């Protein structure tokens, strides 16, 4: 494996700017790595060799012309298959969109192209981003580079695994209930969910619109911040995009890397410190907290009494929203159509198309959402969940009056073996126990590796107030500087 | 007591336009029952006078200038469709049009 694929994105950007290496060489090295290992990892659903080399050539040409380029120009990126890419297959991990080539780019994708990032391809995911293991991808699972018999997390397991396996230095994920952070945690990589509305949803195939948030995956906190800075900021095509300046996340990551957290107050969430996490995860998390204390941080225990209700509230709100969002897959405008033999009505064709095109978890959630929204149940389920959402946001607001950030393990358990949580869907949902509150509140949260348990990576979650994304990068980079780096076994 | 019956799941699947199989109905009914028993816990929270949150960002009335920007070309918009049909539109100068083609919408008895 070449040193190019081992480099951080920041280092690659510097070497490209110094013309020590060309963008074409960097792209080719990553394409070679993908060719060598992806048969075993299956991080990618589509590798865009031609598009990547073409984009890399144009960056090299721009540099020869002396154009001023951004810090990530020529750096490769993998993109979760839920973001639309013009002319490049986009499936959202579903059979219902097999073969679809979108006629437009997601805003994030155009911003990355404009910044000179080179898109390598599209990464595997649980169908429509519903799942915590990639086992619900219609195209087969992704395998965790740390142990190929275990899940890489989900829904963005492909993006996290591509970064962990050195197939890409950077990737884009989307986080609705933990789909960037939980895969980051179990693959020993960094995954950041920006403030909701801080990154555009235009071109993100919608699952739960009030929660879906795109963000960066990387092997280093500074790299995640560099990508965050490229993709964040107001987009007039997304009506929930926040019209405010993006916090200086790159500066914050560099400040954190100096290893001084004097005066920073960490809030330990009492409700997340009990029996929720397995012993090895809790131990690695405590060591992470101690490392931050050595850097000068102060620890305060805070209570967020409604966090215990976040998981039930989420599994009413998200399925309810998905029920409406997935109504667009009706076999008319794009994707699959089944049973249209001239004898069947539109309704029958729709029902047969959706039955054939959707997998089991998507169907369960559509049915669950339909139930939660139905007359007679609406107030008790969806309405009540929205009220609980208010109380969870108030818990965050109260906590942030006392502390700068909240910390917890990212996920209660390390990467689990395939098949161990698919028969009881609720066991799968528990993977997102600690990540969901930040989605309901809307604030930013990041997962940074903090150690190993049973030889597998453990993630440390840092949650910050809305639009204070810089804080999580500062604390995250400080943690990264204080714990030994994690390197997966060679593939 | 089960929170949801097999018959209810069948009804919800029809409302959701999912032609689920008998085997799926058996499986989903049990699984959805476990999930519903767990999520019903939201009812334990006293929240009668708490306002609901539909969205974490309190943005209202986002306005922009009413400027015409090009949208997708007709052929681009139709390119991913499972079926299209050619037709005729009197209002168009060329008279030529292409549509999404859908199965019949009205039943015979309608």
Name the burial class of residue A344, with classes exposed (0-12), middle (13-18) and buried (19+) by CB atoms within 10 angstroms of its CB: middle
Question: Where do we find the tokens 């810089």?
Answer: A470
Kindly report the CATH number that applies to the domain delimited by A3-257: 3.90.1300.10
Q: What are phi and psi of A452, to 5 degrees?
A: -120, 150
* Segment A405-433, tens digit of pLDDT: 999 999 999 999 999 999 889 899 999 99
Q: Do A386 and B54 touch (CB under 8 A)?
A: yes
CA distance B104 to chain A (A): 5
Complex confidence, ipTM: 0.92
Q: Do A103 and B83 touch (CB under 8 A)?
A: no
What pLDDT does residue B109 have? 55
- The mean predicted confidence, pLDDT, of chain A is 97
**pLDDT at residue A36 tops 80:** yes
Token pair for B96: 């030529």
* Segment A281-314, tens digit of pLDDT: 999 999 999 999 999 999 999 999 999 999 999 9
**pLDDT at residue A182 tops 80:** yes
Contacts of B101-107 with C-beta under 8 Å, sequence gap 24+, read B102/A332, B102/A346, B103/A340, B103/A342, B103/A344, B103/A345, B103/A346, B103/A348, B103/A349, B104/A345, B104/A346, B105/A345, B105/A346, B107/A345
Point out the residue among A354, A388, A441 whose CB comes nearest to the CB of B42.
Answer: A388
For residues B107 and B68, which has the higher predicted lDDT (pLDDT)? B68
Q: Where residue A250 falls among pLDDT bands split at 50, 70, 90? A: very high
Q: Do B56 and A393 touch (CB under 8 A)?
A: yes
CA distance A469 to chain B (A): 15
Q: Do B57 and A240 touch (CB under 8 A)?
A: yes
What pLDDT does residue A403 have? 98
Per-state percent for chain A, helix, strand, coil, to nearest 5: 45, 15, 40
Q: Do B55 and A387 touch (CB under 8 A)?
A: no
Largest Cα–Cα distance in chain A?
73
Q: What are phi and psi of A144, to 5 degrees?
A: -70, 120
Contact A455, A431 (CB under 8 A): no
SS3 category, A267: strand
Point out the residue among B18, B56, B81 whose CB comes nearest to the CB of A442.
Answer: B56
Q: Do A240 and B59 touch (CB under 8 A)?
A: yes
Token pair for A434: 């600690």
Q: What is the DSSP string of A347-370?
A: HHHHHHHHHHHS-HHHHHHHHHHH
What integer is the mean pLDDT of A41-66? 98
Q: In which element (H, E) is residue A159 found?
A: helix A157-164
Percentage of the residues of chain A whose pLDDT score is greater than 70: 99
Calpha distance A434→A271 (Å, rounded): 10
Q: Do B77 and A103 touch (CB under 8 A)?
A: yes
Calpha distance A149→A141 (Å, rounded): 11
**pLDDT at residue B24 tops 90:** yes
Marked catalytic residue, from A155, A241, A447, A453: A155
Strands (E) located in chain B: 84-88, 96-100
What integer is the mean pLDDT of A263-272? 95
CA distance B88 to chain A (A): 20
Calpha distance B97→A77 (Å, rounded): 40
Marked catalytic residue, from A80, A133, A241, A453: A80
Packing angle of the helix pair A469-482, A221-231 (nearest 10 deg)? 160
**Spans of all domains in chain A:** 3-257
Q: Where residue B106 falls among pLDDT bands split at 50, 70, 90? A: confident
Please tell me the least confidently modeled range out of A244-248, A374-378, B103-107. Answer: B103-107
Percentage of the residues of chain A whose pLDDT score is greater than 90: 96
Contacts of A441 in chain B (CB under 8 A): 56
Size of interface A-B (CB pairs under 8 A): 180
Q: Do A239 and B62 touch (CB under 8 A)?
A: yes
What pLDDT does residue B93 have? 76
Q: What is the DSSP string of A95-156?
A: GGGTT---SS--HHHHHHHHTT-EEEEEE--SGGG--SSSTT-TT----BTTBTTB---SSS
Contact A419, A133 (CB under 8 A): no
A162 is catalytic: no
**pLDDT at residue A446 tops 50:** yes
* CA geometry: angle A322, A325, A327, nearest 5 deg: 105
Marked catalytic residue, from A162, A179, A208, A408: A179
Q: In which element (H, E) is residue A218 found?
A: strand A213-218
Q: Where residue B92 falls among pLDDT bands split at 50, 70, 90? A: confident
Calpha distance A122→B16 (Å, rounded): 29
A209 is catalytic: no
Point out the residue among A346, A363, A391 whose CB comes nearest to the CB of B18.
Answer: A363
Token pair for A64: 């020869």
* Segment B81-90, tens digit of pLDDT: 999 988 877 7
What pLDDT does residue B105 have? 79
Point out the residue among B14, B80, B103 whose CB comes nearest to the CB of A349.
Answer: B103
Q: Where residue B110 falls among pLDDT bands split at 50, 70, 90? A: very low
**pLDDT at residue B62 tops 90:** no
A393 is catalytic: no
Point out the residue among A104, A242, A354 whose CB comes nearest to the CB of B17.
Answer: A354
């Amino acid at each position: 494996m070449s040193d190019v694929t081992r480099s951080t994105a920041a280092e690659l950007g510097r070497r490209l700017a110094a013309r020590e290496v060309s963008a074409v060489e960097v792209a080719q090295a990553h394409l070679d790595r993908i060719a060598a290992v992806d048969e075993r990892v299956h991080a990618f659903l589509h590798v865009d060799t031609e598009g990547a080399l073409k984009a890399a050539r144009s960056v090299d040409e721009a540099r020869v012309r002396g154009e001023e380029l951004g810090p990530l120009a020529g750096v490769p990126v993998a993109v979760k298959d839920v973001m639309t890419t013009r002319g490049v297959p986009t499936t959202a991990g579903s059979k219902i969109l097999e073969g679809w080539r979108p006629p437009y780019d997601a805003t994030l994708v155009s911003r990355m192209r404009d910044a000179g990032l080179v898109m390598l391809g599209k990464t595997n995911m649980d169908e429509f981003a519903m799942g915590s293991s990639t086992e619900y991808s219609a195209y087969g699972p992704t395998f965790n580079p740390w142990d190929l018999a275990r899940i890489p997390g989900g829904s963005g397991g492909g993006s996290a695994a591509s970064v962990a396996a050195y197939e890409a230095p950077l990737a884009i994920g989307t986080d609705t209930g933990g789909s960037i952070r939980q895969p980051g945690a179990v693959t020993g990589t960094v995954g950041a969910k920006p403030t909701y509305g801080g990154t555009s949803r235009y071109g993100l195939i919608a699952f739960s619109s009030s929660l879906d948030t795109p963000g960066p995956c990387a092997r280093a906190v500074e790299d995640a911040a560099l990508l965050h800075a490229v993709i964040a900021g107001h987009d007039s095509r997304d009506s929930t995009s926040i019209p405010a300046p993006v916090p200086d996340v790159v500066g914050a990551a560099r400040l954190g890397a100096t290893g001084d957290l004097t005066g920073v107050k960490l809030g330990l969430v009492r409700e997340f410190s009990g029996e929720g996490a397995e012993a090895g995860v809790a131990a690695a998390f405590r060591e992470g907290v101690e490392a931050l204390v050595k850097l000068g941080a102060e620890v305060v225990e805070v209570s967020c009494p409604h966090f215990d209700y976040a998981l039930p509230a989420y599994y009413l709100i998200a399925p309810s929203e998905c029920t409406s969002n997935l109504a667009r897959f009706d076999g008319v405008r794009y994707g699959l159509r089944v049973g249209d033999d001239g004898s069947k009505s539109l309704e029958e064709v729709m029902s047969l198309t959706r039955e054939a095109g959707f997998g089991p978890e998507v169907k369960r959630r559509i049915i669950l959402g339909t139930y939660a929204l139905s007359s007679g149940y609406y107030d008790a389920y969806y309405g009540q969940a929205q009220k609980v959402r208010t109380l969870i946001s108030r818990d965050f607001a109260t906590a942030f009056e006392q502390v700068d950030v909240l910390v917890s393990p990212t996920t209660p358990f390390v990467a689990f073996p395939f098949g161990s949580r698919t028969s009881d869907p609720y066991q799968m949902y528990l993977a997102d126990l600690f990540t969901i509150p930040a989605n309901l509140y809307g604030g930013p949260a990041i997962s940074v590796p903090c150690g190993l348990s049973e030889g597998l990576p453990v993630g440390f979650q840092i949650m910050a107030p809305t639009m204070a994304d810089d804080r999580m990068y500062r604390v995250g980079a400080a943690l990264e500087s204080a714990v030994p780096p994690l390197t997966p076994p060679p593939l | 007591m089960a929170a949801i019956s097999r018959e209810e799941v069948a009804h919800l699947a029809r409302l959701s336009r999912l032609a689920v199989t008998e085997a799926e109905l058996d499986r989903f009914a049990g699984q959805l029952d476990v999930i519903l028993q767990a999520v019903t816990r939201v009812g334990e929270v006293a929240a009668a006078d708490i306002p609901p949150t539909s969205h974490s960002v309190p943005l209202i009335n986002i306005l922009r200038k009413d400027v015409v920007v090009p949208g997708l070309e007709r052929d681009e918009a139709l390119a991913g469709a499972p079926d299209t049909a050619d037709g005729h539109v009197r209002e168009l100068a060329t008279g030529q049009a292409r549509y999404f083609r859908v199965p019949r919408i009205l039943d015979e008895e309608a």
